Chain A
Amino acid sequence: MRASAASGRRSTLIALGSTIVFAVVVVLLVTNAPGWPAVKRAFFDGEVFRESLEVIPEAFLLNVKIFLVAEAFILPFALLIAILRGLPGPVFFPLRALAVVYADFFRGVPTILVIYMLGFGAPALGLSWIPIDPLFWGVVALVLVYSAYVSEVYRAGIESVHPSQEAAARSLGLSRAKALRFVILPQAVRRVVPPLLNDFIGLQKDTALVGLLGVVEAFRQSQIEAANTFNYTPYVVTAIIFILLTIPLARLTDWLVARDRRRQLAAAGAR
């Protein structure tokens, strides 16, 4: 126990040392580059940094809202797609085919194109009964694209549950729907929480794309700031804010994966 504590401390020190050396080398390399003074002025201006901090975090709240609203639609919608894709029998072929086409299409088209087409195309149709707010269409685009990804994650989870589980549930007289709801989905969803969170991280970043429609979220706000100050520092501020939000999400994902692995090992040991 003492020995392992000492060796633990030792490896921590080694890790710390090598990290510092690495960081120093990178900093020296960058700051000694011939163009560094110009880059420093353009990207790391203290004055602009402070000014940006006054407006960009507020705009970033809109990114968080877009993220939360989109996710609230994505989770159930993607589950529906995944379930449609798993329907058995020839009767449901059209629904299965629809789910496949949907997932293929929205995973294939670049997100930015979906955002442009819906954000500029849908309002231009001139239909009075559909919204013309670009924010609305931006969120719709994100929901459509990310539901395609998330439905595949769900599907992988559903298929990872052994068919004997469904047989056991059906043998108790449960309908297929009830077997899915009480036996298969709870196991499937539990298994895919880490990859789901991974897609959350992607979505969180992609909320910036809605800014391309003119919606003033963090990225658009930093464009405005950059244009006003002839300086790129606002982009750095936005990048930092995004990172501050995605890092905890990434660590949470890691922690969940590690916890699952520990549980599996514990379960295997108990047998």
Chain B
Amino acid sequence: MTAAPALLLEGVHKSFDKHEVLKGIDLALEPHDVVCLIGASGSGKSTLLRCVNLLEPIDQGRIVLGGDEITAPGVKVDRVRRRVGIVFQAFNLFPHMTVLRNVTLGPIRALGASRAEAEAEARELLGRFGLADRAGDYPDRLSGGQQQRVAIVRALAMRPELMLLDEVTSALDPELVAEVLSVIRELAESGMTMLIATHEMSFARDIAHRVCFLDEGVILEEGDPEQIFTAPREPRTQQFLQRIVAAGRL
């Protein structure tokens, strides 16, 4: 008997008004899995991540986190979110707080950690990701790459059991992408369970244990990266990857 999956999605549907964005998603992540979601803009990658973090309520199906069904009625959403870290495309750092306060807000106000404890841990995490000397700065003094690394540290400070990364390099200048990707690589190597929506195909190929191709609200194809990127079965996957190659991004 294996342990409960880290994350399980069964028949997840989600509509905005009349537009159905997710049309029955089934997905399972074992602990320490790194799964990349690829697909065109509008294929539902971001919505899927937001549903897992309960930022969007789902219409049908269920989501199970570490054995607990989080889409059941009466579940405390704040408790669920403390277990799941999410990093957004646009960083979404709090501009009125220093880097250190950005990172310690969650541990102090949501987890009830003491300030001293939270700050010590935040400084350790910031140091680990090369941001030790930035603790006292406000976000607008940081480069995009630094801001996104702070956002990752902010999520990590909650000690999540699952990290959701939503196109975290899409808003960055090209020369700043590498520093953020190396942080994610380090997380993957440390055994963090991650669900990553990305347009960085070579990164996905390199880091993912499995790749899911999302197309029009369903996972059309799922497999190990080598298979998806070199021998995709579905014609739509082939088309998508051909366009990516033509754009010089793979």
Tell me how far the C-beta of A175 lies from the nearest C-beta in chain B, rounded to whole angstroms: 5
Say whether B18 faces chain A, with CB atoms less than 8 Å apart. Answer: no
Question: Distance (Å) between the CB of A69 and the closest chain B CB?
Answer: 30
Selected from B93, B106, B141, B144, the residue in CB contact (under 8 A) with A174 is B106
- CA of A55 to CA of B78 in the docked complex: distance in angstroms? 61
* B53-A174 in contact (CB<8A): no
The answer to whether B111 touches A171, judged by C-beta atoms less than 8 angstroms apart, is no
Q: Which of B78, B105, B140, B141 contacts A182 (CB 8 A)?
A: B105
Could you tell me the distance between the alpha carbons of A28 and B85 in the complex, rounded to whole angstroms? 74
- Asked whether B88 lies within 8 Å of A173 as measured between CB atoms, the reply is no
With known contacts A167-B55, A270-B140, A270-B141, A174–B96 Cβ distance under 8 A = no
Given contacts A168-B94, A270-B140, contact A175 B88 (CB under 8 A): no
User: Is there contact, CB below 8 Å, between B88 and A167?
Assistant: yes
A190–B96 touching, CB < 8 Å: yes
Establish whether residues B55 and A173, one from each chain, have CB atoms under 8 Å apart when the complex forms.
no
Chain B CB within 8 A of A186 CB: yes
Bound form: Cα–Cα A182–B96 in Å:
10
> Does B239 sit within 8 A of A, measured CB to CB?
no
Closest to B144 in A: A271
Q: How many residues belonging to B are interface residues under a CB distance threshold of 8 Å? A: 28
Q: Is the CB of A172 within 8 A of B88?
A: no
Taking CB as reference atom, which chain A residue is nearest B140?
A267
| Nearest CB of B to A157, in Å | 12
Interface residues of A in 228-268 (CB under 8 A from B): 267
Answer whether A172 and B96 are a contact pair too, CB < 8 Å, given A167-B55, A182-B109, A270-B140: no
Give the one of A164, A183, A187, A190 with max B CB within 10 A: A183
Identify the closest chain A residue to B164 (Cβ): A171
Within 8 Å CB of A167, what residues of B? 55, 88, 92
Number of interface residues of A (CB under 8 A): 20
A173 and B110 within 8 A (CB): yes
Whether B92 and A173, one on each chain, are in contact in the complex, defined by CB atoms closer than 8 angstroms, is no
Q: Mark A165-197, 1 if CB is under 8 A from B, else 0.
A: 101111111110010001100110010000000
Taking Cβ atoms with an 8 Å cutoff, the residues of B that contact A are: 53, 55, 78-79, 81-82, 84-86, 88, 90, 92-96, 105-106, 109-111, 140-141, 143-144, 154-155, 158
10 closest A-B pairs by beta carbon, nearest first, are A173-B82, A172-B106, A168-B92, A173-B110, A267-B140, A173-B81, A171-B86, A164-B92, A173-B78, A186-B96
List 20 other contacts, CB 8 Å, given A169-B105, A173-B111, A271-B143.
A165-B92, A167-B55, A167-B88, A168-B92, A168-B93, A168-B94, A171-B81, A171-B86, A171-B155, A172-B109, A173-B78, A173-B82, A173-B106, A174-B109, A178-B110, A182-B109, A187-B95, A187-B96, A267-B140, A270-B141
Subset of 15 A-B contacts with CB under 8 Å = A164-B88, A169-B105, A171-B81, A171-B86, A172-B81, A172-B105, A173-B78, A173-B158, A174-B78, A174-B109, A182-B105, A183-B94, A183-B105, A186-B96, A187-B95
